[in-house]
Amino acid sequence: MTQETIFANARLILRDRVETGTLRIADGVITDIDFGTAVPKGAQDMQGDYIAPGLVELHTDNLERHMSPRPKVDWPHRAAILAHDRELAGTGITTVFDAIRVGSMISAEHQYQRYARGMVDTILAMRAAGALRISHHIHLRAEICSETLAEELAEFGPEDRVGIVSMMDHTPGQRQFRDLSKFEAYVRGKHSFDAAAFQRHVDTLYDVQKQYGKTHEAATVAAATRYGAALASHDDTTAEQVETSHRYGVRLAEFPTTIEAAHSCHANGIATIMGAPNVIRGGSHSGNVAALDLAKADRLDILSSDYVPAGLLIAALQLGDLWGDLARGLATVTHAPAQSVGLTDRGTIEVGARGDVIRFARLDGLPILRETWVEGQRVF
């Protein structure tokens, strides 16, 4: 039996405009779009609320926050995944690429252990069992400055449906942490290091990067090709770094730290991803380029919630207001991210697309999310 849902008298956020109309979803797919304020029999009256495509999230640290809600606390992983899944549904995210670190430090004073293979197995099993409300995909965050990256990458293959592999190099003194004082404030605040422990930590990272850096970069590029995944760079700072990314086949640039890098990404056809918290706060917490400056320069393509899932919709609306184009703002969290990773069946309100949609109103500019549907089924 066909399951049909009809939303009427809604402000539909389409690819290029916002127009009041009616949206029909049958068996999980958008089947019809009409315009006007009429409310057909059997339709739900949206009373002028917005209907937009479900949000597509390419990079979020939110799962790790649920895995370790307090320092040195390892929360049961299935429970963490469920909590993460429900939270995202409640913020309008209907497709997520769960960012999972590969590459560990096992011999250093400040250790962090491997967990990626087991976590991916758990996510895939829960997805297969129908336990998750939204669509989950895999994003492997390849930590170049680590000891075990190459062997951890070898544990995955095309059958794991890895959609994104990002090259992360958090060696202090470059990229995100060019300013060592900000790196020191971040690390010492997070790990309660004294000055001597911090310096030992920095020296260890320099040694590891020198020993493994080039090998790990090559292994990451090869792994992304083997998986059939989109390759992303992270925290590109200079035009030279972007040129290197381009030679590697990078398609996505996560959080470039300077306007110079963003311009170079644009010239090389690399989509630029910036953090929603950067937009909302008006600047980077690491002291790097402000996302709003990139938006004003037409160098911001995609938003990521990064570490605040609820920020994704807020920031997209802020961009829409900045540009005077709500449809364009929403595209940074719907159509653009979906297209960048080859998900052509979602991210837009059009006939034939997945019935992943959200309903929200605005209160003094702030979005009030009312409902979230995935393939026509309400999940929030």
Per residue in 125-134, pLDDT (tens digit) is 999 999 999 9
pLDDT grade for 181, boundaries at 50, 70 and 90: low
pLDDT(303) > 60: yes
Class of residue 105 by CB neighbours under 10 A (exposed 0-12, middle 13-18, buried 19+): buried
Residues in the chain: 380
CA distances 58 to 20, 80, 247, 277, 323, Å, are 29, 19, 22, 15, 23
Q: Determine how β-strand 230-234 pairs with β-strand 252-254.
A: parallel
What CA–CA distance (Å, rounded) separates 294 from 255? Answer: 11
pLDDT(16) > 60: yes
pTM reported for the whole predicted model: 0.91
Cβ atoms of 302 and 58 closer than 8 Å: yes
Q: Determine how β-strand 271-275 pairs with β-strand 302-304.
A: parallel
Q: Among 52-56, 142-146, 188-192, 355-359, which is the least confidently predicted range?
A: 188-192
CA distances 120 to 59, 138, 155, 158, 306, Å, are 15, 7, 11, 13, 19
pLDDT (tens digit, 9 = 90+) per residue, 240-264?
Answer: 999 999 999 999 999 999 999 999 9
Cβ atoms of 314 and 305 closer than 8 Å: no
pLDDT(199) > 90: no
Amino acid at 153: L
Phi first, then psi: give them for residue 163, nearest 5 degrees.
-95, -30
Q: Determine how β-strand 366-374 pairs with β-strand 377-378.
A: antiparallel
The DSSP output letter for 36 is S
pLDDT(364) > 90: yes
DSSP-derived secondary structure for 103-169: --B-SSSS-B---HHHHHHHHHHHHHTT--SSEEEEEEEEESSSSSHHHHHTT--GGG-EEEEEEE-
SS3 104: coil
pLDDT(191) > 80: no
pLDDT score at 70: 87
Sorted by sequence, the CB contacts under 8 Å of residue 219 that are 6+ apart come out as 142, 149, 150, 153
pLDDT score at 306: 93
What CA–CA distance (Å, rounded) separates 309 from 109? Answer: 32
Complete domains list, the chain, with CATH: 54-344 (3.20.20.140)
pLDDT (tens digit, 9 = 90+) per residue, 142-176?
Answer: 998 888 999 999 999 999 999 999 999 866 655 55
pLDDT (tens digit, 9 = 90+) per residue, 35-74?
Answer: 999 999 999 999 999 999 999 999 999 999 999 998 788 9
Class of residue 161 by CB neighbours under 10 A (exposed 0-12, middle 13-18, buried 19+): middle
